Amino acid sequence: MGDRPRIRDVARRAGVSEKTVSNVINDHPHVRARTRAAVEEAIAALGYRVNLAGRHLRRGESGVIALVVPELDLGYFAELADLVIREAERRSRTVLVHQSEARRTREESALDGFGTDFVDGVILSPLAMDDDALQAYRSRLPVVLLGEVPRAVRHAHVAIDNVAAAREATEHLLDGGRTRIAVVGGRPPRPSGTAELRTRGHVEALRARGMAADPTLVRPAREFHWRDGAALTAALLAEARPPDALLCLNDLLALGAMRALHDAGVRVPEDVAVVGFDDIAPGRYSVPALTTVAPDKPRLAREAVRLLAEAVEGRRDTTGAASGREFGPSASKVVVGHTLLIRESSSTAR
């Protein structure tokens, strides 16, 4: 067996410089199509493989980033994890996936890289830590937060505009003639977490139509699972004036709600319209198919990985070694788009 082909062998076969080969390997945008094709042909012919371990070692990195989400059995986080892994692979990085179970000790441990030097940075979707805790906690690693963080904190973060998304969803229900809309999973509309901001968007939509928000129709969820949506909906149906629409703050709540409506003999959408958030796969195949707010998950993953990669690279000094400094405040915030996907569970007219 001969020696393992090196980058100079690829450059020689393709008739280009080693720098050009490196640009192709790293997917640099400013490479001519003909040159890129010649380099890729040489890579394939020689069986060249990038020595990622050596590359990261020279940079003072492990090449591993952590993705920390509350629960992987929630469809949204499972789909998001898949997208983050694919995007990280494109950047020659490996992802360690960890569940926090919405426990503060686990989220804090993640911010410190689990007490090891194994990971270069962390993408965290926090639930237990509010913005005050995130502001106060000092991480020794670069961190990117997923989800809404209303107040500027010391970490970059990526989110949709939850207020605008909930306002659009509520307007859709109002346009369909719904007048008594319950917010399943809602919380008092103050500048805090995702549920609070979505509730705020709902209230803003009502007020813009000259309608008063009824606080008794805002029903907090202990967890955002199917069973919580079903239980909260059953309680709403038992009241003297049940709602004619449900704005559920994630798709699992909405799917649980539709089960409770079916069991009670309530038609969707004829009697009660239902809208969710997240656009997870089960909602696309439910009967009726679920109307939902779909975040741009591919871009959310892409931006989160990009911000973290830039932060990791920014920590290296001119020798390529980690600087050892604490990762300080960052003003980086990326707001990704969303789309209201109108399906069978809601109607535009009554």
Q: Which domains does the chain have, with CATH numbers?
A: 7-50 (1.10.260.40), 60-160+296-335 (3.40.50.2300), 162-295 (3.40.50.2300)
pLDDT tens, position by position, 123-182: 999 888 877 777 777 777 898 999 876 555 668 889 999 999 999 999 999 999 999 999
Q: Which pTM was predicted?
A: 0.79
What is the mean predicted confidence (pLDDT) over 293-306? 96
Q: What is the spatial distance between Cα 15 and Cα 188, in angstroms, rounded to a whole number?
A: 65
- Has residue 324 got a pLDDT over 70? no
pLDDT tens, position by position, 183-226: 999 987 655 688 999 999 999 999 999 999 999 999 999 889 99
Q: What is the spatial distance between Cα 248 and Cα 107, in angstroms, rounded to a whole number?
A: 26
Would you say 205 and 171 are in contact if contact means Cβ atoms under 8 Å apart? yes
pLDDT tens, position by position, 90-107: 888 999 999 998 888 998
Q: Report the range of poorest mean pLDDT among 15-24, 201-210, 240-249, 291-300.
A: 15-24
pLDDT tens, position by position, 54-80: 444 445 456 899 999 999 888 899 999
What is the mean predicted confidence (pLDDT) over 321-331? 44
Give me the pLDDT at residue 153, please.
61
Q: Over the chain, what is the mean pLDDT?
A: 86
Q: What is the spatial distance between Cα 50 and Cα 55, in angstroms, rounded to a whole number?
A: 8
Q: What are phi and psi of 345, to 5 degrees?
A: -75, -5
Dihedral angle over CA of 249, 203, 238, 173, nearest 10: -70
- Has residue 120 got a pLDDT over 50? yes
